[in-house]
Amino acid sequence: MKLAILGSGFIARFYADALVAQRRKDAITMVYSRTEANAKKFANDYNVPGYTTNMKECITHANIDAVIIALSNDLHLESVLACAEAGKHVLCTKPLGRNSQEALQMLEAVEKANVTGGYLEDLCYTPKFLKSLSAIKNGNIGEVIWAKSRETHPGPHSNWFWDKEKSGGGAMVDLGCHCVEISRNFIGKNIKPIEVMCWADTRVHPIDAEDNAIGLVKYENGAIGQFEVSWSFRGGMDLRDEVMGTEGTIWVNNFLRTGFDMFTSGKSNSYVAEKAESNTGWLFPVGDEMNELGYNHMFTDMFEAIENKRQPHESFYDGYIVNAILDAAYLSAATKRWEPVVITDWRGIAAKKETKQMTDYDKDFYLIKEETLPSGEKKFIIKNKKTGSIEVR
């Protein structure tokens, strides 16, 4: 597959590193940047035969099968609409839009053009995430009733992130989009998110947007998705997920503490890991950063989806749902109330009522808890189904 990349900055280089890291049949053949010097340098660094400062020329080039968008959030809508008009498959970095209205326009455009719209949500393709999701789908932890995802670091790398108009928000739209979609996968994409309670504030940086936020997303079956995001966390990038089910629990540490610790005096002055704040002392490198962050599995899924004419596991529809949830989160942060998630195009299952797990002890009692005492004796705490009394057996 012949690929064009729109953008030549930080995320574009991450994508390119992933695409050229392994021997594969797909190739970057064109890059667009608003600055010619940046476009030329990117082309030289990655041996890309063509570069341009004209977005339309890049998208419509006859030698391009699919376009990867690695631009600032304010340019996603324009570039996706251009790809759809040109009939080109398009893979867009997160978040899909600055809000759900933009995301819905993009979704409708790619579907009308009958091209693939892939949502580049890399953290839903990390090896640990995929293993966790497989375990959940196999029933290893029962029904998921709570999923928590955390992404915190010292702040983004490019100036446009800090501009509320260009980005659409702050830490919540930048990092919360990851966390929301991670929890949504664990709980079940077919389960409708119905309301959000959120706190957000600007605690550290002189910006108009939030640099810290915490949110709760309630789903129709009673499950809760929780996100924690910050642009003021010191010590690197912290990516952690926790999932609680009726029959088990999953804890995942994706990045900050991965079991690879290294001490150095810092004389080499070399790169350690994304968002690392220091290159001296005890450091926590990542064995294969592209793979650990999910880029390899993500692009494999995207390209196979295009070839097999199927939807990728993370599609523009998913990006739209994430934006709708974040819209509710921003509104809740302002009103200090639970706010409904407004989805004009829900494609999941019909209304699924909140579920309650009740385990029978026998025909007359529910089992509340079973435990083994130090003596080895079994202890059962039970509830009478008729009277509601709590007893011990």
For 237-267, write each residue's pLDDT tens digit: 899 999 999 999 999 998 877 778 778 887 7
Q: Is the CB of residue 122 less than 8 Å from the CB of residue 96?
A: no
Contact indicator for 260, 273 with CB cutoff of 8 Å: no
pLDDT by residue for the chain (393 residues), tens only, comes to: 999 999 999 999 999 999 987 667 899 999 999 999 999 999 999 999 999 999 999 999 999 999 999 999 999 999 999 999 999 999 999 999 999 999 999 999 999 999 999 999 999 999 999 999 999 999 999 999 999 999 999 999 899 999 999 999 999 999 999 999 999 999 999 999 999 999 999 999 999 999 999 999 999 999 999 999 999 998 888 999 999 999 999 999 988 777 787 788 877 766 666 666 677 777 777 778 888 889 999 999 999 999 999 999 999 999 999 999 999 999 999 999 999 999 999 999 877 677 777 889 999 999 999 999 899 899 999 899 999 999 999
DSSP state letters, 357-386: --EESSSSEEEEEEEE-TTS-EEEEEEETT
Q: What pLDDT score does 75 carry? A: 98
Of 107, 115, 113, 76, the C-alpha closest to 93 is 76
Superfamily the domain 2-120 falls into: NAD(P)-binding Rossmann-like Domain (3.40.50.720)
Going by C-beta distance under 8 Å and a sequence separation of 6 or more, which residues neighbour residue 274?
Answer: 237, 255, 289, 293
Q: Where are the domains of the chain?
A: 2-120, 124-340, 359-392
In angstroms, the CA 311 to CA 302 distance is 8
Question: Which CATH code fits 124-340?
Answer: 3.30.360.10
**pLDDT recorded at residue 353:** 72
Closest CA to 120 of 306, 315, 300: 315
Planar angle of CA 151, 273, 211, nearest 5 degrees: 30
pLDDT digits (tens, 9 = 90+) for 58-80: 999 999 999 999 999 999 999 99
Query: Do residues 29 and 10 touch, judged by C-beta distance below 8 A?
Result: no
- pTM for this model (two decimals): 0.91
Q: How many C-beta atoms lie closer than 10 Å to residue 301's C-beta?
A: 18
With a CB cutoff of 8 Å and minimum separation 6, the contacts of 287 are: 258, 260
Determine whether 33 is exposed, middle or buried from the number of CB atoms within 10 Å of its CB (0-12, 13-18, 19+).
buried
* Apex 186 CA angle, 324 and 353, nearest 5: 70
